[in-house]
Structure 1
């Protein structure tokens, strides 16, 4: 009873005031969307064109050529015939069960999202590693990006850009980019100070130390971040399908609304297969990088 009375006496914001604040925020964002929405959308037009082109390229490429390319990449990354066999079997199973086109659409957006996340995330991670002030500013933002439910930041993105590939891509990047930023920062900070002092003694400047010493030594940690970014991007496939992103997520969403167990299971397993393939390839590459560095230490 005492606890209940304490809660009742706690000062709460007036309902009218709260309603006015919400209304003001909604109106402000709607005004911003109406005024700058077209400009922001036109900014992303080149990226949309590239996404559409890349998706059409994957869909038009013969299935056997796609399998060969991914298998070769897997072999170059891991030098493992078991990994290559797993890639071939997985893609043949995906094709056999009629999920090839959806898989290629998912592969196209995940590839572009991952490349953008790496291209944006690694420089930010480097900035955090070189500046404690930048780290103190960026870390809370990463915390918010990782803990906020994806549906929450889908709302402003969809209000601003509508439904389609670009809002889905932005949502996936926001959700998936924190690991590569955090682990790039961590990897560079963990580089032995004595190694850096030795490089400085040989006359290396900051840029030379970064490119020649810090990034190579931090590469296994950075690759772990890339691996996590890929996994998180794939985990957003179903949510992104809710705002018009075609791929394996849409049949899963359809199976939820219509209770199609087999459809949801097969497409879910296809997403799992892609996740395992990317996971094994990135892990194999990170392991080979670590062995290479160990051999030269």
Structure 2
């Protein structure tokens, strides 16, 4: 939908949309092989994981997640996770929930594989930080639905565009919090490493990253939460999972179905949030950093 320029607007028309459409058309016609390869990789990651999660009995998945919660947190959380996931298993959308979980895990893993190295680059290079800041601002302020438009053009309808749109949408907090964690490392600790002759790479791997781990894990948590929210929205492009359930309920005005799908999303979000929030505290360097901050 295009509107006429108001006579009260003195500024010339900037055909930004036409330029972007030209870029998309060129990419669609010239990079078919690349897009096919990317789609094949995403399918190769999502499909086996979905088959594994839906192929085993629900009680096995619930007990594994509960055991992980007991190890990372407390028996109380394990019990709460068992009750919550048991409720999801008692509803007719267990397979859809596992499909959503598979998409979230794959999208989050791919997002973090790019976000953490980019965050390191941003933290260590001022020019990269200057370039990345407005790009990250743009990525975080674009409406979630906008990410689906180019994904549909490049990959059609299905799981692949949903996962890739989720990947891009969830990446910014991973970059920002990785860079923030590295910048917050005590300069005196870095100087001590340099005084002992450690190389910059060794200081980064052995000193900065372990001490920045609590902040990086906060970024991991935020990436997963954003991925979960976007995967549900991606149901608009037929990505499957709980997104399809909620979109069906919305189109048919079925309150009960929408409520059940929403409850499943909430329980999955709470479990993933608590688990990822606890992982960073399992590392000795992270515990030492938190003790230093407490003192």
TM-score by length of 1: 0.89
CA, structure 1 residues 25+271, in 2 after alignment: closer, same or farther (shift >3 Å)? closer
Aligned partner of 1:26 in structure 2 is: 21
Instruction: Mark the structure with the bigger radius of gyration.
Output: 1
Q: CA deviation at 1:212?
A: 1.0
Residue 52 of structure 2 is aligned with which of 51, 57, 66?
A: 57
Structure 2 unaligned spans of 5+: 1-5
CA, structure 1 residues 70+239, in 2 after alignment: closer, same or farther (shift >3 Å)? same
Aligned partner of 2:10 in structure 1 is: 11
Tell me, yes or no, if the aligned pair for 1:184 and 1:218 is still in contact at 8 Å: yes
Query: Do residues 279 (structure 1) and 273 (structure 2) align?
Result: yes
Give the whole-Å Cα distance in 2 for the aligned partners of 1:9 and 1:117: 44
The Cα RMSD (Å) is 2.1
Aligned partner of 2:70 in structure 1 is: 75
Give the whole-Å Cα distance in 1 for the aligned partners of 2:241 and 2:42: 18
Q: How does 1:193-272 map to 2 (within 5 A)?
A: 193-272=187-266
Give the whole-Å Cα distance in 1 for the aligned partners of 2:263 and 2:196: 53
Tell me, yes or no, if the aligned pair for 2:45 and 2:106 is still in contact at 8 Å: no
Tell me, yes or no, if the aligned pair for 1:237 and 1:249 is still in contact at 8 Å: yes
Q: CA deviation at 1:220?
A: 0.6
CA offsets per residue over residues 150-203 of structure 1, 9 Å max, x none?
222211121111112111111001111111110000000000000011111222
Q: How does 1:108-257 map to 2 (within 5 A)?
A: 108-257=102-251
Tell me, yes or no, if the aligned pair for 2:39 and 2:155 is still in contact at 8 Å: no
Give the whole-Å Cα distance in 2 for the aligned partners of 1:82 and 1:62: 23
Give the whole-Å Cα distance in 2 for the aligned partners of 1:240 and 1:196: 43
Residue 46 of structure 1 is aligned with which of 27, 41, 50?
A: 41
Give the whole-Å Cα distance in 2 for the aligned partners of 1:62 and 1:105: 14
Q: CA deviation at 1:292?
A: 4.5
CA, structure 1 residues 65+294, in 2 after alignment: closer, same or farther (shift >3 Å)? same
CA, structure 1 residues 183+28, in 2 after alignment: closer, same or farther (shift >3 Å)? closer
Tell me, yes or no, if the aligned pair for 1:188 and 1:215 is still in contact at 8 Å: yes
Tell me, yes or no, if the aligned pair for 1:37 and 1:161 is still in contact at 8 Å: no
Alignment partner of 2:30: what SS? Answer: helix
Q: CA deviation at 1:22?
A: 4.9
Q: How many residues of Structure 1 are paired with residues of Structure 2 in the alignment? A: 286
Tell me, yes or no, if the aligned pair for 2:100 and 2:240 is still in contact at 8 Å: yes
CA, structure 1 residues 251+9, in 2 after alignment: closer, same or farther (shift >3 Å)? closer
Residue 35 of structure 1 is aligned with which of 30, 40, 50?
A: 30
TM-score by length of 2: 0.90
CA, structure 1 residues 264+132, in 2 after alignment: closer, same or farther (shift >3 Å)? same
Give the whole-Å Cα distance in 2 for the aligned partners of 1:99 and 1:224: 30
Q: CA deviation at 1:105?
A: 0.3
Moved more, 121-130 or 277-286: 277-286
